[in-house]
Amino acid sequence: IVHDVALQSIPVTFCLDRAGLVGEDGPTHHGAIDLSYLMCVPNMIITAPKDGDELRDLLYTAIQQDEKPFAIRYPRGSVPRPVTEDRSPETIPIGSWETLVDGTDVAILATGTMVEAALQGCEALRKNGCEPKVVNARFVKPMDLGVLERIAETYDLIVTIEENAVEGGFGACVASHLADRLRSGQRIVNLGIPDRFVEHGPRELLLEEVGLSPEGITNTILRHHKQREERI
């Protein structure tokens, strides 16, 4: 990747199958660190689609551009909803994010499979007095710095969610970029795969174990939201 592609900025498209936790295939096959090792490679474009339609769009976008290597990571599991039939693929502006839900209390920056998990937790968050904003961070690199910096100006609680190692991943890069912009009392919470090898087992069970099920994500956000309310 470094010597033969990125150094020369050759527009190779990397399709990263089995991203995240792959269930019964076990720790030898979990795609848990690709965001972390690709983030530090110059010239890379790194993406993670939220569903099948966006996967098609990102693949189409990748082959339309001819300037940089382009990585698309997607899981072993099925898409969260059926792919739209007879839909032509569309080009997505490189580096753009997408706001799916607007709210005032917490900004959730989710990438890839975690977008659907974040959306599933919205109702429970609202029932507990927390209005979430959910952003589909489909471009992990380059990030949508315009959206990110506006969020940093508005929200005291920012939560990143990725099905990747929390060490050196998407959330760590968000925190690094915002490090000198944080206000007093502002908090960034990074959710991801912990810094250990995850054993084999049903995918849903593994996500629950590492706190990345919709319920686990919701509970973590509510805990931090409550702590923020108590400080206020």
Nearest to 70 by CA among 99, 41, 90: 41
Tell me the per-residue pLDDT of 136-181, one tens digit each, with 9 for 90 and over. Answer: 999 999 999 999 999 999 999 999 999 999 999 999 999 999 999 8
Averaged pLDDT of the chain:
95
Q: Can you tell me which residue has the tokens 């005291």? A: 156
Q: For position 232, what pLDDT does the model report?
A: 60
Please state, in angstroms and rounded to a whole number, the distance separating the CA atoms of residues 36 and 6: 16
Q: Look up the pTM and report it.
A: 0.96
Task: Judge whether residue 11 has pLDDT over 90.
Answer: yes
Tell me the per-residue pLDDT of 21-51, one tens digit each, with 9 for 90 and over. Answer: 998 888 999 999 999 999 999 999 999 999 9
**Residue 189 corresponds to which tokens in the numbers above?**
């919470």
Tell me the per-residue pLDDT of 172-219, one tens digit each, with 9 for 90 and over. Answer: 999 999 999 888 889 999 999 999 999 999 999 999 999 999 999 999
State the angle between helix axes of 170-178 and 145-154 in degrees (0 to 180), rounded to the nearest 10: 60
